[in-house]
């Protein structure tokens, strides 16, 4: 998810800069939130149905095929985010959001008819592409409402995890009908299209500029405290690897550990409820502990929680508070990393740093999904959880070694 740089003024369509648009209405904010919720449903919906697909050998999927499909979803998100700007130039935010939601929703509708694992992977790529096209536009629209980038990111992140919660609830009702899960998501997405078209004005973002200038990136990497910033970027990579790796494979790992389908989905629900709580509490944590200490403590506790989840004898009543806490820690670590970078990088490089965090986060998510899937296939469930715990420890180690102190700069 990216936000255009508010300091530039060149219009996207090459015309003279229009008058500054008004802030979006609450109705527009709700519609944008629903677009992100739909993306969360589509992405986490794969995690919900994966145990069923693997248990029934539907589409000929094995763990390696499922790993490829899950990684393709996130690759599509990255590609869509990289390509969203031409679409935004051509048609404005309204058209961009409609095209994005239509692409992901149509891919969901077609999925039940696909008969091969290759077709399934391609449809997951298309689903991610639609989500990736829409997310930067939503963030740009929301940025008109709030000058605080963190508030915008937290708002969109809560919508994503709310979509994950919805996907789990639908799964509890419909599974083992995995086709019904995809059909419902696709139909809801198509039903949202006319609402988006009627609600989002076409002309809003025509004055928005290109998001991250090359000069700012060069300044970031030549900054005298650059190792501090690079440590934060590495932490962002590991944080998103945790989020996507855990969310995508959690019910599959639980099913392989002997939990039934209902308890696996209920624990996935608990994980995302914890994520929502963690995101809402992230600002308070940063104010109370400070950004650097907050990141260190959160990585440490997340590593402990993930390591405990690898214990095969844990009963569901014991796992509920553990999963709730782990979900809160894993989801909010990325936000704390962004708060940390805002505190330590120069004002002129904050936009570049934020953009790099987002791009590295997407790459980290793909690596996390692929690594956990490969670990599950070759080394077992216990090792997969231990790999996630080791990833959290890596983020902690980098922050401890490279940032012995926080070089905080004045907020200007």
Domain at 92, CATH number: 1.20.1250.20
- State whether 189 and 281 are in the same domain: no
- State whether 239 and 184 are in the same domain: no
pLDDT value of residue 158: 86
Which of 134, 169, 203 is at the close of a domain? 203
Quote the number of domains for the chain: 2
- Tokens 């806490």 appear where? 325
- State whether 377 and 245 are in the same domain: yes
Six-digit token string for 298: 């959160």
- State whether 219 and 349 are in the same domain: yes
Which of 384, 390, 376, 283 minimizes the C-alpha distance to 335? 283
In a domain, 168, yes or no: yes
- State whether 257 and 125 are in the same domain: no
pLDDT value of residue 380: 82
Which of 145, 170, 203 is at the close of a domain? 203
Positive or negative, the Cα torsion across 357, 286, 39, 310? Answer: positive
Output the DSSP codes for 345-405.
Answer: S-GGGHHHHHHHHHHHHHHHHHHHHHHHHHHHHHT-HHHHHHHHHHHHHHHHHHHHHH-SS
pLDDT value of residue 405: 62
* Terminal C-alpha separation, the chain: 24
For residues 365 and 239, the answer to whether their CB atoms sit within 8 Å is no
- State whether 172 and 198 are in the same domain: yes
In a domain, 196, yes or no: yes
Q: Which DSSP symbol is given to 115?
A: -
Six-digit token string for 185: 């998501």
- State whether 163 and 277 are in the same domain: no
In a domain, 171, yes or no: yes
pLDDT value of residue 229: 74
Which of 171, 186, 203 is at the close of a domain? 203
- State whether 287 and 331 are in the same domain: yes
In a domain, 352, yes or no: yes
- State whether 194 and 219 are in the same domain: no
pLDDT value of residue 387: 94
- State whether 250 and 369 are in the same domain: yes
Q: One digit per residue, pLDDT tens: the chain, 412 residues?
A: 333 333 333 333 333 444 444 556 788 888 989 999 999 999 999 999 999 999 988 888 899 999 999 999 999 999 998 888 888 887 788 889 999 999 999 999 999 999 889 999 999 999 999 999 998 888 777 766 555 555 666 777 788 899 999 999 999 999 888 999 999 999 999 999 999 999 988 765 544 444 444 555 666 667 667 777 778 888 889 999 999 999 999 999 999 888 888 999 999 999 999 999 998 888 888 888 888 889 999 999 999 999 999 887 788 888 999 999 999 999 888 888 888 887 777 777 777 777 777 777 888 999 999 999 999 887 888 899 999 999 999 999 988 887 766 655 544 4
- State whether 266 and 353 are in the same domain: yes
Range of the domain at 243: 212-412
- State whether 293 and 325 are in the same domain: yes
């Amino acid at each position: 998810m990216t936000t255009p740089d508010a300091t530039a003024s060149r219009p996207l369509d090459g015309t003279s800069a229009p008058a500054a648009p008004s802030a979006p209405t609450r109705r527009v904010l709700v519609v944008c939130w629903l677009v992100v919720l739909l993306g969360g449903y589509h992405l986490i919906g794969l995690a919900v149905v994966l145990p069923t697909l693997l248990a029934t050998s539907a589409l000929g999927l094995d763990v390696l095929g499922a790993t490829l499909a899950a990684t393709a979803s996130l690759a599509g998100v990255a590609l869509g985010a990289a390509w969203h700007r031409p679409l935004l130039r051509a048609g404005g935010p309204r058209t961009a959001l409609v095209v994005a939601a239509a692409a992901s929703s149509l891919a969901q509708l077609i999925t039940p008819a696909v008969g091969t694992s290759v077709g399934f992977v391609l449809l997951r790529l298309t689903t991610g592409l639609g989500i990736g096209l829409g997310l930067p536009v939503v963030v740009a629209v929301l940025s008109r409402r709030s000058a605080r980038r963190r508030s915008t990111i937290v708002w969109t992140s809560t919508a994503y995890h709310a979509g994950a919660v919805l996907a789990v609830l639908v799964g509890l009702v419909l599974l083992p009908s995995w086709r019904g899960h995809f059909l419902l998501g696709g139909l809801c997405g198509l039903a949202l299209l006319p609402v988006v078209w009627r609600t989002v004005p076409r002309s809003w973002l025509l004055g928005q500029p290109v998001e991250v200038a090359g000069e700012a990136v060069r300044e970031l990497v030549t900054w005298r405290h650059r190792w501090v910033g690079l440590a934060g970027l590495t932490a962002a990579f590991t944080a998103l690897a945790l989020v996507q790796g855990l969310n995508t494979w959690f019910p599959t790992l639980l099913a392989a550990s002997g939990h039934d389908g209902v308890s696996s989905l209920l624990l996935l629900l608990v994980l995302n409820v914890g994520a929502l709580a963690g995101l809402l509490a992230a600002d308070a944590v940063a104010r109370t502990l400070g950004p650097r200490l907050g990141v260190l403590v959160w990585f440490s506790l997340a590593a402990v929680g993930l390591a405990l989840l690898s214990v095969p004898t844990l009963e569901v009543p014991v796992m509920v508070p553990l999963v709730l806490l782990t979900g809160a820690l894993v989801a909010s670590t990325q936000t704390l990393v962004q708060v940390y970078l805002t505190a330590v990088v120069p004002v002129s490089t904050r936009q570049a740093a934020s953009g790099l965090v987002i791009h590295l986060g997407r790459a980290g998510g793909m690596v996390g999904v692929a690594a956990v899937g490969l670990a599950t296939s070759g080394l077992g469930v216990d090792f997969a959880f231990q790999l996630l715990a080791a990833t959290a420890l890596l983020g902690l180690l980098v922050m401890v070694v490279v940032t012995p102190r926080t070089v905080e700069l004045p907020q200007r």
